[in-house]
Amino acid sequence: MKKTSTRLADGRELIYYDLRDDTVRDAVDRRPLERTHTTSEIRRDVLLGDSVAVASHRQGRTYHPPANECPLCPTWGDRLSEVPDSSYDVVVFENRFPSLAGDSGRCEVVCFTSDHDASFADLSVEQARLVLDAWTDRTSELSHLPSVEQVFCFENRGAEIGVTLQHPHGQIYAYPFTTPRTALMLRSLAARKEATGGENLFDTVLERELAEERVVLEGEHWAAFVPYAAHWPYEVHLYPKRRVPDLLALDEAARTEFPQVYLELLRRFDRIFGEGEPPTPYIAAWHQAPFGALEAFEGVTRDDFALHLELFTIRRTSGKLKFLAGSESGMSVFINDVPPERAAERLREVASS
């Protein structure tokens, strides 16, 4: 992998990740952009104990542009975009309309391929491995920023999810705090460790799930399963079999196998609802241990946390979505329309030949 860092016209950082070591990236951003000004602010909810990012500048962000005006495609001739070069393998850049900025963290865009009409599932094993390497590199770099406590790599796919740019891409949020969902896991982890004299809850969950009927696919180094208490109609958790706290700690064997397992999982997601259906909308979310202090979770260290990816769709059946209504949005109590056992069975049924 070759990494080349440059700057866009407004000062934002852009990084090319290339498969070939002899690739030259010297294209200049020719757009007449002014420096980006953001109004991102973190506000603490003292009743719920969580935080809200207020980012009013995002109201003017690019919204469903036609394909020939996509800002994530490479620059071609006089059609200028966020990527100055005429091609790329993987590229990462600071979001022009970030939810988090400055002392409030950082937001980056990850473009998986220059092919506008592709998806992550269309990538080759080599291309998917390059994305993994980019995620890992950005996790390392962002973790050293003084304002960053947790790094979150994720992909939103599909208009139903709320995606406004159809080019295959994901994002990275570098939060200045430990996110509420991670905090819940850490509290459960701490409670089980104290109650049992050292048991790791992640290890226990993985061991139990691998013995159940909800396993979707399993490799030598990775395992994917529908969790016992899945929140979403089709939800899969992907774990490395050797517990590590973050992407940086994956060994070479796990890195080599990941693209094969993940690509197969995504392709199965696209076949859940049968032929003729539009691509399955999904969210793919990496859960990594925070880089900040963990004193609030007594007895827990970063090494106790288990890196894993959670993949889920809001489509519950053909032509129907799972909406977060009163119980989910008002009380955070999910009601799942699809039994997890049946979801796992369906994901096994659609295995590719």
Question: What residues act catalytically?
Answer: 169
Contact 109, 168 (CB under 8 A): no
CA distances from 226 to 99, 210, 237, 340 (A): 31, 10, 6, 6
Torsion region of 254: left, alpha or beta (phi above 0 gives left; psi -120 to 50 gives alpha): alpha
Nearest to 102 by CA among 61, 148, 137: 148
Q: How far, in Å, CA of 51 to CA of 53, rounded?
A: 7
Q: Three-class SS string for the chain?
A: CEEEEEECCCCCEEEEEECCCCCCCCCCCCCCCCCCCCCCEEEEECCCCEEEEECHHHHHCCCCCCHHHCCCCECECCECCCECCCCCCEEEEECCCCCCCHHHCEEEEEECCCCCCCCHHHCCHHHHHHHHHHHHHHHHHHHCCCCCCEEEEEEEECHHHCCCCCCCEEEEEEECCCCHHHHHHHHHHHHHHHHHCCCCHHHHHHHHHHCCCCEEEECCCEEEECCCCCCCCEEEEEEECCCCCCHHHCCHHHHHHHHHHHHHHHHHHCCCCCCCCCCCCEEEEEECCCCCCCCCCCCCCHHHCCCEEEEEECEEECCEECCCCHHHHHHCCCCCCCCHHHHHHHHHHCCCC
Alpha-carbon torsion, ordered 12, 15, 16, 22, to 10 deg: 120
